[in-house]
Structure 1
């Protein structure tokens, strides 16, 4: 279990609600924010339903962050639709602030009009296709350079994609599932890339197991399974200063980020904004 300052400025605490599900509940701006990580199947959907029931008993506005849900079966879709209907009937409200594609796809396919409405809530206007391609190409090139100058065996590039309202992986090297699925969307301070994006500064983590960034979070388990012991994340900006995305490199085992590697990655970030 881990307490930290969440993205809404409140203390959040992750708990293992079931074998495949972790929850973090916080109050902010007059609403209950429920963050969900793991798989929404028959058993875990029941656990989340109880959490939603408690929030509804207080007639609170409820916001669901489903960006860490990597599987959503029929039981998960039914739960989200039922919760939406009940909240509306009781004068409350339920919104999905962010969602993994593993949630959006079944909601769109099986959720009818209400599912489409929840999906719409979780999305904003996408980038124009040519701009998306340009930024994706820039980040892929920056990742290639970062891997070469650091000698890292693993890495990924994430685009700040307004279509999902979060960082999204657009290029990677050395990773398999479930890493790629879990980190498909990131918009929190519980990852090095998330901190780099929020603070617009490079982040160097020498030992993920003992880092306060990851301590007690669902991300730590995924990093361990992927044999990641150290990570560095650098934000990539446009000329005007707007964030384009984040490039991260990863090493197995703990690693002291010496000045040479730090300067090389920081130089890459500065050079990218000139392109």
Structure 2
């Protein structure tokens, strides 16, 4: 997937998927970038009646962004087509839900599903947090995070972290793609070891690479935490500044941690 940067605060990737055009958006939806996205939506509607928006990497959505999304939904319906939001960051969901009323609810109705039961969420968060603490200790990494697979958004969500600040935490609030080590680990149910982020095919050309550079992340290791039945619970990742060769002993220790966690 190729990303473009039509404005300073916005990156876009447009792909044709089955019977619709999918537009992935990263960055901020302010006055200037909203107009850029509006033009992209117009071109997409000319090519296909059905358009889907992935807004999971939008970290700011102002009034101009809310107005754009609601207007685009109305325009698509008037033309006999449809506009849906398949994924959305909380920075988009909150202003839409606060300002958009019934129209906004229709636009994002496919984003939210049933959450975990409170006691099950607490149990899983505790397991992942403990696994993160152990992973940091055995690798000596100065940074790391634990992500819970949250069925309410159909994505990994950070529930514990060490060594990170904004905008890293805001950008990676949820992950549900293969443009991150944790996303690949989650989908493949296999550990992912990246020695050098800047030259990894996982990150090349993606908005995530810029955020990792700004956070001084040069290497990352992500291990999936599975249930006894093999279902994904979440992912634990550790991060190092600068390139790192993940030695066999570190790899084996992290893989052993993942296996042990699934037995708890």
TM over 0.5: yes
Instruction: Compute the TM-score of the two structures, normalised by the length of structure 2.
Output: 0.99
* In 1: Cα distance, 2:48 partner to 2:162 partner: 46
1:60 to partner: Cα distance: 2.3
For the residue of structure 2 that corresponds to 1:120, the secondary structure is coil
* In 1: Cα distance, 2:191 partner to 2:157 partner: 18
Moved more, 252-261 or 87-96: 87-96
1:125 aligns with 2:121: no
Number of positions where the alignment pairs a residue of Structure 1 with one of Structure 2: 264
Q: Tell me if the contact between 1:122 and 1:164 (Cα under 8 Å) persists in the aligned partners.
A: yes
Paired residue for 2:80, among 86, 91, 96?
91
Moved more, 119-128 or 227-236: 119-128
Computed over aligned residues only, the root mean square deviation of the Cα atoms, in angstroms, reads 0.7
* In 1: Cα distance, 2:127 partner to 2:75 partner: 45
* In 2: Cα distance, 1:115 partner to 1:128 partner: 26
Q: Which whole-Å deviations, capped at 9, do the CAs of 1:142-200 have from their partners, x for residues lacking one? A: 10110011111000001110111111100000000000000001111110000001111
1:49 aligns with 2:38: yes
Q: Tell me if the contact between 1:239 and 1:273 (Cα under 8 Å) persists in the aligned partners.
A: yes
Q: Tell me if the contact between 2:52 and 2:84 (Cα under 8 Å) persists in the aligned partners.
A: yes
1:113 aligns with 2:88: no
1:175 aligns with 2:164: yes
* In 1: Cα distance, 2:107 partner to 2:140 partner: 43
1:148 aligns with 2:137: yes
Paired residue for 2:190, among 186, 201, 204?
201
Q: Tell me if the contact between 1:59 and 1:90 (Cα under 8 Å) persists in the aligned partners.
A: no
Match of 1:243 in 2: 232
Match of 1:217 in 2: 206
1:256 aligns with 2:230: no
Q: Tell me if the contact between 1:97 and 1:122 (Cα under 8 Å) persists in the aligned partners.
A: yes
Unaligned runs of 5+ in 1: 1-11
List structure 1 segments (4+ residues) > 6 angstroms apart after TM superposition. Answer: none
Q: Tell me if the contact between 1:155 and 1:249 (Cα under 8 Å) persists in the aligned partners.
A: yes
